[in-house]
Amino acid sequence: MISTVNNSSCADNFTEGQIPNQQSQRNNNRLQLQSFIDQYGIVKTRTPTINRIKKHLNKFCKTLSCISIINALLNRIPIIRCLKEYNIRTSLFGDIIAGITVAIMHIPQGMAYGLLTTLPPVYGTFAITSLMTGQAIDGASLEYSNVINNESYVLSNISEAMIISEKVGLATTLAFFVGMVQLTLSIFRLGFLTVYLTEPFISGFTAGAAVHVFSSQIPSVFGIVIGTIISHFTEIHNRHGVSVVGPIKQGLPPPISPPFKQISYLVVHAVPIAMVTLCISISMAKMFSRKHNYKVSSNQELLAYGISNTVSSFFQCFPSGCSMSRSAVQEGSGCKTQLVGGFSCLVLGIVIVALTPLFKSLPMACLAAIIIYYGMCKPRFSVLGQIDNTEIYKNIKLFPVARQFVNIKILRFDESLYACNAPFFKRKFYELIGIKLRQEPLIPYEMLNLNQNEVIQYKYVVLDCSPFNFIDTVGVKLLIEIYNDLKKRDIKLYLSECRYDVQHTLELMNFYEKTAPSIIYVTTHDAVMFIRTQSDHGND
């Protein structure tokens, strides 16, 4: 048995310079902790699981009433509370505009994403989801791919129609099981799993999905004859064999039960699709909740998507999910309430019922281009400010405490600068520093000039080039053009944090000879400090 000793007696047992062994230290620490417990005590209470269940059931039964049931319904079906408290005067106009805007965007984009599922494009107007649906359908319908017989044109057409019908059935069955998975997760309150969907994970997933979507559309992009512009009047489908959308059935599909074929295969794919849908939905919801200061319930999201997918599977829809681009457009279009979805559905219903023949001659390549264009040509532009007492500069929208300087505008273009996004860069750059571009009649966009009578409040502009992985000749020429335009207005342009490859390209394009060697600085803070020093000395 080990006897208890105090620190003073323990120290007396060692001569000067002697170190106690690790076992003695561990024993001493254990005894000190035990002494603390003996002195102050620890109350160890652990309620049996069955007792905790009974406690929660009793609490639930005591609070069960008509009012609690009504409140639960209001919480589970938010549109009821929304309609009850709806303010027509302040919300109706914004909801209508946002609903129409989203619907107009949904029609071509929905048909484009319908291609990703390997279904006819029209099914994309019913629901939107990821490439995972297309992969699951292709895998499940593989055994039907050998039905096509090229010996007979009629037999070939019949076989192709059979395969499309089979794929639609598999897609609706998949939607049903995705909905059931999401409902199950909601019932068992497993929304807390979204805690593990960290920002790096979501960013990586989004980037990977973008690459996947881009690469999958390359064959469709090059499926159109170069130089072909108008499909309907030139009949390029018959003359050149260009793939077009083709005839589209008018009206909503009648309700029909999913065929429930290959259940074991589809259930395996339904689980990851349900989780990916939740991942995207929660990431978007959290982004908007931070902006508008409200809470997000992951279990409520699961319930909503579960009901949506389960019910829509009886109307020939494939698994649906959150659209990142249309969500951003809806939020930016001035929507006020969830009622915006109703107005959007109304416009879509009119299109599906009456206007589908207008899309008959739309080339498939146009749909593929819709998917790719927005991400390439519309990157983000940020205004930066300094975090007090640091040399750190952050986006002022994400960090409201970031401080801007008088006469200095700090910008960051969150993408490499090249030919595809150069027009957007030019327009947005001037817009952020308070310069409006005007376009003369019959003059192309590239020939836009600055209005000479604009009053600009900034004398210095710093462009943070840290996101530039590369820059092409068009980008360099644009920077030279902007430098000269600003110089005419007595505004000085500075660049900061350029990578070596970017600096090398600037040198090859004689950028320094056409501008000035002293406009590039190692860091953004260096550029700002130089500008402030020059301003203090009056060397403008």
Please say whether the beta carbons of 475 and 481 come within 8 A.
no
Please say whether the beta carbons of 376 and 518 come within 8 A.
no
Query: Is the predicted pLDDT of residue 125 greater than 60, yes or no?
Result: no
Query: Is the predicted pLDDT of residue 456 greater than 60, yes or no?
Result: no
More confident residue, 497 or 62: 497
Distance CA 171, CA 313 (A): 8
- For 419, phi then psi, to 5°, come to -55, -40
Residue 486 tokens read as 């600003």
In this structure, which amino acid lies at residue 183?
L
Rounded mean pLDDT of 468-484? 89
Nearest partner of 344 among 58, 105, 32, 71, judged by Cα: 105
Residue 478 tokens read as 């644009």
**The whole model's pTM is what?**
0.48
Give the 3-state secondary structure of residue 404: coil
pLDDT of 446 reads 39
Q: Alpha carbon of 305 to those of 286, 301, 469: distances in Å? A: 16, 6, 38
More confident residue, 472 or 38: 472
Query: Is the predicted pLDDT of residue 238 greater than 80, yes or no?
Result: no
Please say whether the beta carbons of 511 and 482 come within 8 A.
no
More confident residue, 195 or 440: 195
Mean pLDDT of all residues belonging to the chain:
70
pLDDT of 444 reads 38
Residue 493 tokens read as 């342009």
Query: Is the predicted pLDDT of residue 218 greater than 60, yes or no?
Result: no
Confidence of residue 199 (pLDDT cuts 50, 70, 90): low
Tens digits of residue pLDDT in 313-337: 888 777 877 776 677 777 777 777 8
